[in-house]
Amino acid sequence: MSWLILIIAGLFEVVGVTGMQKIAKGEKGSGFLILIGGFIVSFSLLSVAMATIPLGVAYAVWTGIGTVGSAIVGMIFYNESTDRLRLMFMAMVIVAVVGLRLVS
């Protein structure tokens, strides 16, 4: 169950980062609400998951989900680059996260 909570925490990190993008685009009101709400939920769930998942593993998985998820959101909604090298490095992050899960 802790792993599911950790994955959801990572997804809410993506929500918080999306709020940052909205702020950068000038949507300050909704952007701050999304940023603060996303990160409050994300950090709360991360702390719950860390009750049974070691700190280093939990943090690495959480940031990996946030990194790849934010990049995917940027590609889909903000027309960011989908260069093959970028996709390859994102795949490497995913492989590392799965590897951490397998050995933990």
Q: What does the pLDDT look like over 17-40, one tens digit per residue?
A: 999 999 999 999 999 999 999 999
In this predicted structure, what is the pLDDT of residue 100? 86
Measure the CA–CA gap between 103 and 29, rounded to whole angstroms: 42
In this predicted structure, what is the pLDDT of residue 34? 97
Measure the CA–CA gap between 35 and 19, rounded to whole angstroms: 4
pLDDT at 14 over 90: yes
Domain that holds residue 66: 2-103
pTM reported for the whole predicted model: 0.90
Who's near 22: CB < 8 A, 6+ residues apart? 30, 31, 34, 35
Across residues 60-88, what is the average pLDDT? 95
Give residue 2's pLDDT band: very low, low, confident or very high (50, 70, 90): very high
